[in-house]
Amino acid sequence: MGVTILTDLGMEILIPVCAVVGIAFSLFQWYLVSKVTVGTDKSHSSGDDKNGYAESLIEEEEGINDHNVVQKCAEIQNAISEGATSFLFTMYQYVGVFMVAFAILIFVFLGSVEGFSTKNQPCTYDSTKTCKPALATAVFSTVSFLLGAVTSVVSGFLGMKIATYANARTTLEARKGVGKAFIVAFRSGAVMGFLLAANGLLVLFITILLFKMYYGDDWEGLFEAITGYGLGGSSMALFGRVGGGIYTKAADVGADLVGKVERNIPEDDPRNPAVIADNVGDNVGDIAGMGSDLFGSYAESSCAALVVASISSFGVNHELTAMLYPLLVSSVGILVCLLTTLFATDFFEVKAVKEIEPALKKQLIISTILMTIGIAFVSWIALPSTFTIFNFGVQKEVKNWQLFLCVGVGLWAGLIIGFVTEYYTSNAYSPVQDVADSCRTGAATNVIFGLALGYKSVIIPIFAIAISIFVSFSFAAMYGIAVAALGMLSTIATGLAIDAYGPISDNAGGIAEMAGMSHRIRERTDALDAAGNTTAAIGKGFAIGSAALVSLALFGAFVSRAAISTVDVLTPKVFIGLLVGAMLPYWFSAMTMKSVGSAALKMVEEVRRQFNTIPGLMEGTAKPDYATCVKISTDASIKEMIPPGALVMLTPLIVGILFGVETLSGVLAGSLVSGVQIAISASNTGGAWDNAKKYIEAGASEHARTLGPKGSDAHKAAVIGDTVGDPLKDTSGPSLNILIKLMAVESLVFAPFFATHGGLLFKLF
């Protein structure tokens, strides 16, 4: 087929070097953040002018005791960090039990395909060759599942630790100016982004090399076993997203409804008993959950591409460099994101509030442009000029420039989805301003406008996804779609950095309010937070768009592996699957939203009880009982995350075993088509309501001032809209993208079992 410019040895050096550079860069960013001290020592007045620690503080001008403020910040930070850590440990204990049980299930199901035989067998796609026994696939799939799960858990946990480390530091830097606070929050986000991207890449690369020692030339079996890595990553992400989402929104809704609507006290007021639980929730839901989620997408898109490549000319001719092209794309992505990050922290400085959002948007644009060049370079050095790609039973000839276009179209589709999401959720544009305006006539019109905005915001992202699917499939079949998803996720380090920046800024604002800092500082943290809300929505847009492409690529790999020649919608077996699959996202959303509702109900009752029974709480002379609220959120989320998780994990198993692979292919297609639409509209509706509320609170324009101030009827209507949107944007919406990916990757892992033993009901009749 042709040789590649990059040798196998060069590739084996390049990938781990890029990963190590990513880890080193994240540790360096963490070191820079740690130079901001949260203590009472005055030793931090050395700095250079970029991170200038020597400037005079506003607090000193305003005569507030600096020592007390720093002490309070440190105490609040500790409370948030302890709450988040204890919740995650509790959750991981439950999830650990599930992980072991599911690992045993994988081993038993896949081992039984050939009756636990240890003899070599004819290969699935080329019966003239012999491949390793099914028992080996069972063992190695189980190992890679556990590896993926552990990497996912570690990614989420490290992200949470970094965020709780940085939140008070961002608050303290806000005393020197908005630019200083922005750099701390952004750097902390970068720590998480680079750690996650580099860890995911390094673990996957080492796993492939180790498995290769056993599999030798049987690449088909090797990369089939590697798919367990994606399954492990996503199954942990599901519980992290759902559990974290229920936790954060129960606290948020409880705090808002009683504090802001009933008692008329500001957001994050220390008198509010649910305030610590609310800030803990930002870290476990938006940081740990998001980290695990994007790690899952990354692992799955890599696995989908590797499975298809292993039965294409790369795998058949044992061209290792071309085979690991998806990992090379991710490696270059780390270097590109590293350069992009320097634009926000070192090359340009944010000096005013209005520069925050453009600085974050520039990150997306710069990383996309640089990555396009990076992909072109990788495609030139790592791919032969022509090669063949497996396309449902036939080999399709593809040129290297066509594969470059596949990755490129995914990358740019991601940028388009990001910007459309921003247009519909940022209060700088008319859609959110219209929603804010509708609050004049009460909460009902606010809800109507918000829902309409969410539905409308689906249109352009769906076209972007559809075009990228058509282009990439035309050029390189299912492999093209898998690398398009990888293209969208190639700048994951930057995407995660701007995503994690949001909750860190949100926490910083909460700490400023609780520590009793001046109004000017709260204004700065609010500005950081409003930009963070928009970037969080952009991050969710990326996650949903990439999930659509990933699950389609996994669906293609599943159809090939299960030896289905065509998926015919007109056959009753497939059509009933389509209908049921399209219903699943609604069932799942109903479960997660009801969970938030019932947990919030308990929270509201507890907050009301404390306000009514603790004397001096409203006057600020008595302290609220924060621990009870933290416990309510923890207990509710642990209990409530199990049913939605079980729905997603058991559906492919039940459908595959009872109804067979054709019905299962219908279920996967149906859940993909409806899940993407609901996920985009839910995330954007919630984001728009949140920013409409912030638009009224900030009162930055003449129009906003006519709706305000805080506590006005329009503001109360906006708070109700925001509260309705909370479970949509932070629980149901973001969890749905895991639903569509997870069902597809699970079906792929169990495909050999379903193909051999599935369809029991149809066999009986």
Query: Does residue 597 sit within a domain?
Result: yes
pLDDT at 48 over 50: no
pLDDT at 145 over 50: yes
d(CA 98, CA 742): 15
pLDDT at 664 over 90: yes
Query: Does residue 58 sit within a domain?
Result: no
User: What is the per-residue DSSP string for 111-125?
Assistant: HGGGTT--S-EE-SS
d(CA 464, CA 472): 12
Query: Does residue 687 sit within a domain?
Result: yes
Question: What pLDDT digit, counting tens, does each position of 194-234 carry?
Answer: 999 999 999 999 999 999 999 888 888 899 999 999 999 99
Query: Does residue 50 sit within a domain?
Result: no
Give me the residues paired with residue 394 across strands.
Answer: 391
Query: Does residue 742 sit within a domain?
Result: yes
Question: What pLDDT digit, counting tens, does each position of 310-349 carry?
Answer: 888 888 888 889 999 999 999 999 999 999 999 888 888 8
- Confidence tier at 39 by pLDDT (50, 70, 90): low
Q: Are the beta carbons of 36 and 168 closer than 8 angstroms?
A: no
Q: 576 burial class (0-12, 13-18, 19+ CB within 10 angstroms)?
A: middle
Closest alpha carbon to 461 in 405, 384, 542: 542
Q: What residue has token string 């050939």?
A: 114
- Confidence tier at 65 by pLDDT (50, 70, 90): low
- Do the strands 394-399 and 386-391 form a parallel or antiparallel pair, or are they unpaired? antiparallel
Q: Which amino acid makes up residue 762?
A: F
Question: What pLDDT digit, counting tens, does each position of 399-431 carry?
Answer: 999 999 999 999 999 999 988 998 999 888 999
Query: At CA 674, angle to CA 673 and CA 679, rounded to 5?
Result: 110
Half-sphere exposure of 286 (CA within 13 A, CB side): 36
Summarize the chain as % helix, strand, coil (round to 5). 80, 0, 15
Q: What residue has token string 């989320």?
A: 637
pLDDT of residue 64: 53
d(CA 547, CA 737): 6
pLDDT of residue 537: 77
d(CA 586, CA 644): 11
Query: Is pLDDT larger for residue 624 or for residue 128?
Result: 624
d(CA 131, CA 109): 19
Total domains in the chain come to: 1
Query: Does residue 77 sit within a domain?
Result: yes
Q: Are the beta carbons of 280 and 251 closer than 8 angstroms?
A: yes
| In the chain, % of residues over pLDDT 70 | 96
- 394: helix, coil or strand? strand
pLDDT at 40 over 90: no
pLDDT of residue 2: 62
pLDDT at 689 over 80: yes
Query: Is pLDDT larger for residue 150 or for residue 286?
Result: 150
Give me the residues paired with residue 387 across strands.
Answer: 398
pLDDT at 753 over 80: yes
What is the four-CA torsion angle of 556, 412, 540, 308, rounded to 10 degrees? Answer: 20
- Full domain range(s) for residue 335: 12-34+66-764
Question: What pLDDT digit, counting tens, does each position of 483-536 carry?
Answer: 999 999 999 899 889 888 988 998 998 899 888 888 888 888 888 888 887 777
d(CA 683, CA 691): 12
User: Residues 141-146: what's their mean pLDDT?
Assistant: 95
Structure tokens at 335: 């270097």
User: How large is the greatest C-alpha to C-alpha distance in the chain, in angstroms?
Assistant: 84
Query: Does residue 115 sit within a domain?
Result: yes
d(CA 28, CA 21): 10
User: Residues 259-281: what's their mean pLDDT?
Assistant: 87
Give me the residues paired with residue 544 across strands.
Answer: none
- 619: helix, coil or strand? coil
Question: What pLDDT digit, counting tens, does each position of 356-404 carry?
Answer: 888 888 888 999 999 999 999 999 999 999 998 888 878 889 899 999 9
pLDDT of residue 652: 95
- Confidence tier at 61 by pLDDT (50, 70, 90): very low
Structure tokens at 554: 């996994």
Q: 137 burial class (0-12, 13-18, 19+ CB within 10 angstroms)?
A: buried
Closest alpha carbon to 123 in 132, 110, 113: 132
- Do the strands 386-391 and 130-131 form a parallel or antiparallel pair, or are they unpaired? unpaired
List CB contacts of 210: < 8 A, sequence separation 6 or more: none
pLDDT of residue 533: 75
- DSSP run (H or E) holding 498: helix 492-514
Q: Examine residue 122 and say whether the peptide bond preceding it is cis (omega within 30 degrees of 0).
A: no
Q: How far apart are the first and last CA of the chain?
A: 49
- 319: helix, coil or strand? coil
List CB contacts of 426: < 8 A, sequence separation 6 or more: 357, 432, 534, 691
Average pLDDT, the chain: 88
In three-state form (DSSP H/G/I as H, E/B as E, the rest C), the secondary structure along 559-597 is HHHCCCCCCCCCCHHHHHHHHHHHHHHHHHHHHHHHHHH
| In the chain, % of residues over pLDDT 90 | 51
- 142: helix, coil or strand? helix
User: Residues 98-104: what's their mean pLDDT?
Assistant: 93
- DSSP run (H or E) holding 397: strand 394-399
d(CA 753, CA 107): 11
Query: Does residue 737 sit within a domain?
Result: yes
Structure tokens at 451: 């829902």
C-alpha separations of 258 from 433, 606, 689, 709, 723 in Å: 26, 10, 18, 19, 11
Weakest mean pLDDT among 31-40, 164-173, 566-575: 31-40
